[in-house]
Chains A and B, each alone.
Chain A
Amino acid sequence: MNVIPLFVAIPLAAAFFIPMVSQKFRWVPDLLGNLTAFALLVMAVSVIGKKDVYIMGGWAPPIGINLVLDGLSVLMLITISLVGFTATLFSIRYMEQYTSKLRYYSLFLLMMGGMNGVALSGDMFNIFVFLEIASVASYALVGFGCEHEELEASFKYLVLGSVASTLILLGVAVIYGSLGSLNMAHVSRLIVEQGMNKALYFSLTLLVMGFSLKAALVPFHAWLPDAHPSAPAPISAMLSGVLIKVLGVYALLRISFNVFGMSPLLANILIWLGTISMVVGGLLALGQWDYKRLLAYSSISQVGYVVLAVGIGGAVVSRGDSMTVAGLAIGGGLFHLINHAAFKSLLFLSSGAIVYSTGTRDLRKMGGLKDRMPLTSGAANIGAFSISGIPPFNGFWSKLVIIIAAVQARYYWLALTAVLISVITLAYYLKLQRHAFFGPASENNRDVREVPLSMCIPMVLLAVLCVGMGLLLLPGPRAEILQPAVDALTMGMKYATVILGR
């Protein structure tokens, strides 16, 4: 039996099954939510290295709907299910603070199903549909607490998210009007045959704007610093760790590399978007005193690194320069993407642990937590070291690869900027560490205790990953996980050949 449709079907089925049975049994949502997330993780690991096209309902492309599993999708599926599993494990105890766990798990699994769908779909309109499923669930989850801040952030996120979805839908409609097809492979084939026209450029603009809004790249970032801190901590980890990457960056990469084909103009746009978000996000994070808000701004900055690296790769591909440099840049970007998923979800989970214990998010009211919460502070310190690029941890390797690629592609200024922003990242994480974990213990943290074990395990798991993920650059694991994803992007228009079979 083929496993690909189950990536979408299992979370959806569990999401609808949980409200049916858990009226009577209170432990069912926890159990089912964790089991489903674990099953997804096992499935995602089992498809490593596979490539497949799954045809829904027996209608062959370009007419029918198809699901495409290639290297990039596999990378995304692993990231989603890994962060999703740790977040569900963390929520067992953390979500005791809120009412209605069954709605929480239901929405959470809907969000995971939607993201898996986006990563697998081979059809423009289906990407829109799955993106909306994931977005609607995330709007509701951001406002889950129903307090002033949460509702306000959720409304802001909802309005901007809906505008983004409308832009994406309009872009999809323009593609259909001008080419008469929605299958991504068929569209890319038609674009190669007929060339770009004005309507297609218009549609590309709309899609880039829409997906950048979802990815919170800098001119479009206004919702993120409000929405991510206001959500419950596991949801912040999901939103910052994977949602902006799958709905924003992944879709942007798919559209720009595989459907429209990379052009120098598009590559420049990506490079600029990436650089601006990197710089602005980093500088804004320096002045924050709210633990989670600082993390949210840093997410903007780190996603900027990813988009910058991929943009450099795209520029090299469209110039027709050496493929190794392009592969290096894109590989660095994707590697930073999964690294960021690991350490940012770790940091958000640690912020949740601190809120659970001390009840505050203000850095000025913390201090001295190193002795009170040894596991949490240890994990958070590992996360902070890896995000700021201290050598043995994974963040160092991905940033190193990005900077080397930028130098080899002769973008010296961008390489310099990336180094400078890395220093700024180090600065604001040192500030975070100094105020939260070291220094004198403040008055109201006298009787703070370590969080329960089920909240520590996910953090320790992610911390171990942060240390060990540098190993992905070794030739063996790299050929299994990173290289297929890089190939899926660098081969560009061959995407259509794989799916249409001609």
Chain B
Amino acid sequence: MGQKLTPGDSRSNLYNPQLGMTLIVKTVTRWVKGFIFLFGVYIVLYGHLTPGGGFAGGVIIAGAFILLTLAFGKEAALERMSKTVASEFDSLGALMFLMLAWLGLYFGGPFFVNFIQRNLPGKRFHLFSAGNIPLCNIAIGIKVGTSLFMVFIILSVLRVVVKKGERRMVQMKRRGE
């Protein structure tokens, strides 16, 4: 019964020793990945009150995906976020950040003015107290998380195809020239 498992699916992958790392790593990753992601989101959202912020949180979010890639192979990670989706999110994050800056102009201040804080100051040291800085953090978090993931995936796709024998051939050919 049950649906057919494709080779890229992490459920089939879990007990397949050919793909990814050992069973221990895979099991731990399955438990931990959600928490890492959640922790990243927390760091992004509370960036204006505690240490952290968009970049640090984004790196942690990307870390969750990179852990998946390492444990299950890149198919499992790409199944959750494909390259095109990641690229769209990458641009989206940057555009969101720019839009926030433009909205400052729209609300009659200079570029990058904190227009929410101007109108709704909020209570100090509470979650909604810094105007649009948390929104900026979210934008940066999306941007950094997806682009770091992209960098990792692209670098692992670029894996060198030259094998040892070919390399020797290349060197011999060069010496012959």
B127 CB-CB contact with A under 8 Å:
no
Contact A56 B87 (CB under 8 A): no
Contact A57 B105 (CB under 8 A): no
- Bound: A13/B99 CA distance, A: 9
B161 smallest CB distance to A (angstroms): 14
Partner of A20, one of B91, B102, B114: B91
Contact B114 A57 (CB under 8 A): yes
Interface residues in A10-32 by Cβ distance below 8 A to B read 12-13, 16-17, 19-20, 23
Residues of B within 8 A of A5 (CB): 101, 105, 110-111
Contact B95 A54 (CB under 8 A): no
A1 CB-CB contact with B under 8 Å:
yes
Which of B87, B90, B91 has the most chain A CB atoms closer than 10 A to its own CB?
A: B91
Residues of B within 8 A of A16 (CB): 91, 94-95, 98
Interface residues in B84-101 by Cβ distance below 8 A to A read 84, 87-88, 90-92, 94-95, 98, 101
A475 CB-CB contact with B under 8 Å:
no
Contact A9 B101 (CB under 8 A): yes
Contact B111 A1 (CB under 8 A): no
Chain A interface size, under 10 / 10 to 19 / 20 to 34 / 35 or more: 10 to 19
B144 smallest CB distance to A (angstroms): 14
Residues of B within 8 A of A35 (CB): none
Q: What residue in chain A is nearest B96 (Cβ atoms)?
A: A16
A58 CB-CB contact with B under 8 Å:
yes
Chain B interface mostly helix, strand, loop or mixed? helix
A20 smallest CB distance to B (angstroms): 4
- Bound: A17/B91 CA distance, A: 7
Q: A12-B98, A13-B98 are in contact. Are A20 and B92 (CB under 8 A)?
A: yes
- Bound: A16/B142 CA distance, A: 14
Q: A9-B101, A19-B87, A20-B88 are in contact. Are A57 and B95 (CB under 8 A)?
A: no
- Report how many A-B pairs have Cβ atoms within 8 Å: 46
Q: A16-B91, A17-B91 are in contact. Are A55 and B110 (CB under 8 A)?
A: yes
Chain A interface mostly helix, strand, loop or mixed? helix
Residues of B within 8 A of A2 (CB): 105, 110
Residues of A within 8 A of B90 (CB): 19
B104 CB-CB contact with A under 8 Å:
yes
Interface residues in B45-93 by Cβ distance below 8 A to A read 84, 87-88, 90-92
B135 CB-CB contact with A under 8 Å:
no
Partner of A54, one of B92, B98, B104, B111: B111
- Bound: A54/B101 CA distance, A: 14
A90 smallest CB distance to B (angstroms): 26
B121 CB-CB contact with A under 8 Å:
no
A47 smallest CB distance to B (angstroms): 16
Which of A2, A9, A16, A17 has the most chain B CB atoms closer than 10 A to its own CB?
A: A16
- Bound: A56/B92 CA distance, A: 23
B23 CB-CB contact with A under 8 Å:
no
B112 CB-CB contact with A under 8 Å:
yes
Q: What residue in chain A is nearest B101 (Cβ atoms)?
A: A9
B19 CB-CB contact with A under 8 Å:
no
B166 smallest CB distance to A (angstroms): 16
Residues of B within 8 A of A56 (CB): 110-112
Residues of A within 8 A of B92 (CB): 20
- Bound: A56/B109 CA distance, A: 9
Contact code string B139-174 (vs A, CB < 8 Å = 1, else 0):
000000000000000000000000000000000000
A102 smallest CB distance to B (angstroms): 10
Residues of B within 8 A of A58 (CB): 109-110, 113-114
Residues of B within 8 A of A13 (CB): 95, 98
Residues of B within 8 A of A57 (CB): 104, 110-114
Residues of B within 8 A of A54 (CB): 110-111
A21 smallest CB distance to B (angstroms): 9
- Bound: A336/B30 CA distance, A: 64
Q: What residue in chain B is nearest A1 (Cβ atoms)?
A: B105
B127 smallest CB distance to A (angstroms): 22
6 smallest CB-CB distances across A and B, nearest first, come from: A5-B111, A57-B112, A16-B94, A20-B91, A16-B91, A58-B113
Q: List 17 A-B contacts (CB under 8 A).
A: A2-B110, A5-B110, A5-B111, A12-B94, A16-B94, A17-B95, A19-B87, A19-B91, A20-B92, A23-B84, A54-B111, A55-B110, A56-B112, A57-B110, A57-B113, A57-B114, A58-B113
B residues within 8 Å of A by Cβ? Answer: 84, 87-88, 90-92, 94-95, 98, 101-102, 104-105, 109-114
Known: A16-B95, A56-B112, A58-B113. 18 other contacts (CB 8 A): A2-B105, A5-B101, A5-B105, A9-B98, A9-B111, A12-B98, A17-B95, A20-B91, A20-B92, A23-B84, A54-B110, A54-B111, A55-B110, A56-B110, A57-B104, A57-B110, A57-B111, A58-B110
